[in-house]
Amino acid sequence: MHRLLSRNQVAAVAVVILLGLVIGVLGLVAADLYTVGVLILFVGGVGAAVLAGEYLIRYLSSRRPPA
């Protein structure tokens, strides 16, 4: 069966989001780390949006048109 999304892609985006969250929490100690955490979290969010868009494009293009 053809997979719509690669596990590696999903795992990479999840790791980036978790890294952003961890660094953001460490930012409670240092304001610079908070800023870096927010930026990494933003990059993870963009990656998640790209994966969601790719999923929708592949899902909708694989459906049969109505008869």
What is the reported pLDDT for 1?
A: 41
How many whole angstroms separate alpha carbon 24 and alpha carbon 19?
8
Q: Considering the entire predicted model, what is its pTM?
A: 0.75
CA distance linking residue 20 with residue 35, whole number of Å = 10
11-63 tens-digit pLDDT:
889 999 999 888 888 888 888 888 888 899 999 999 999 989 988 888 888 87
